[in-house]
């Protein structure tokens, strides 16, 4: 699974990394990067990521299957 951040629309509101710091990290200028993840993370983590995606005020987080 891969998480994509649209850095052009991200408003650096901090919500994603304040909410889920095991996945999202401030790269230093307010834009988040994602930490390496297992290809098939457990269901609780996927649900937590989906909640953050839906809460992102600028809809800048997408998730896609890989492999």
Site string for ligand SF4, 9-48 (x = CB under 6 A): -xxxxxxx---------------x----------------
- Alpha-helical regions (H) of the chain: 15-19, 43-55
Stretch that binds ligand SF4, among 34-42, 43-51, 56-64 (CB under 6 A): 56-64
Instruction: Give me the least distance between CB of 38 and ligand SF4, in Å please.
Output: 21
Q: Are strands 32-34 and 24-26 parallel, antiparallel or unpaired?
A: antiparallel
36: helix, strand or coil: coil
Which is it for the CA torsion 18, 52, 22, 14, positive or negative?
negative
Instruction: Give me the least distance between CB of 56 and ligand SF4, in Å please.
Output: 3
| Residue 61 lies near ligand SF4 (rule: CB under 6 A) | yes
């Amino acid at each position: 699974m891969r998480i994509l951040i649209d850095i052009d629309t991200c408003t650096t509101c901090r919500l994603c990394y304040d909410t889920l710091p095991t996945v999202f990290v401030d790269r230093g200028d307010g834009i988040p990067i994602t930490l390496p993840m297992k290809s098939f993370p457990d269901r609780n983590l996927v649900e937590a990521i989906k909640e953050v995606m839906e809460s992102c005020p600028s809809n800048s987080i997408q998730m896609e299957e890989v492999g």
